[in-house]
Amino acid sequence: MTAPNFSRADSTPQTSGAELTGGDFKLTDHTGKIVTLKSYSGKYLIVFFGFTHCPGVCPLGLRTIMGSLNLLGNLANEIQPIFISVDPARDTQEVLAKYVKSFGPLLVGLRGSEKELAEVVGRYRAYYQKLSVPKDQPKESYLMDHSPIIYLMSKSGTYMSYFSSNEGAKAISEKIKLTIKAQ
């Protein structure tokens, strides 16, 4: 199994080892609890990076993730969906809590300091970048560019597969089932 390089959305996948993507992290969840990879041991992880002010990619991605879990029946009990904010400045614990709850009770929101965020983004070979705001608009109305990838990680936190939200909930749920079955 190969893990693509996600450092750019349009990058050519590399054939480097799966062990290079993912791994441990230290972040804070939307209830204020400090969490690491171990906090979710025994569960497959679905990981998605984004920000709550995202106008399109994030809401679509999260709806697709939650929709695919809905289609998985009992298998969904073994999967923890995680949203990692790439915009900790605006995504306070309160903002994040309200946001993840709008996608149902299962979704966990994680945030960290700039340093903690850079570390987890690096481990997932993802990317994020604050975009500049047009001069006539308020400074705080900035958007973030970020990886649109949906990651599926094993119960020990290693990379298994990835999906694009464009594939839709049905196709992703089938792929999750097949990937887990094939391991």
Q: Residue 50 CB, nearest distance to Ni ion (Å)?
A: 4
Dihedral Cα 19, 24, 27, 30, nearest 10 deg: 80
Nearest residue by C-beta to Ni ion?
Answer: 54
Q: Smallest Cα–Cα separation from 25: which of 2, 57, 47?
A: 47
Q: Residue 146 CB, nearest distance to Ni ion (Å)?
A: 6
Q: Name the residue nearer to Ni ion (CB basis): 22 or 50.
A: 50
Q: Residue 141 CB, nearest distance to Ni ion (Å)?
A: 15
Q: Residue 108 CB, nearest distance to Ni ion (Å)?
A: 17
Q: Name the residue nearer to Ni ion (CB basis): 7 or 14.
A: 7
Q: Name the residue nearer to Ni ion (CB basis): 37 or 83.
A: 83
Q: Name the residue nearer to Ni ion (CB basis): 117 or 180.
A: 117
Q: Residue 57 CB, nearest distance to Ni ion (Å)?
A: 4
Q: Name the residue nearer to Ni ion (CB basis): 79 or 144.
A: 144
For binding to Ni ion (CB under 5 A), which residues are involved?
A: 50, 54, 57-58
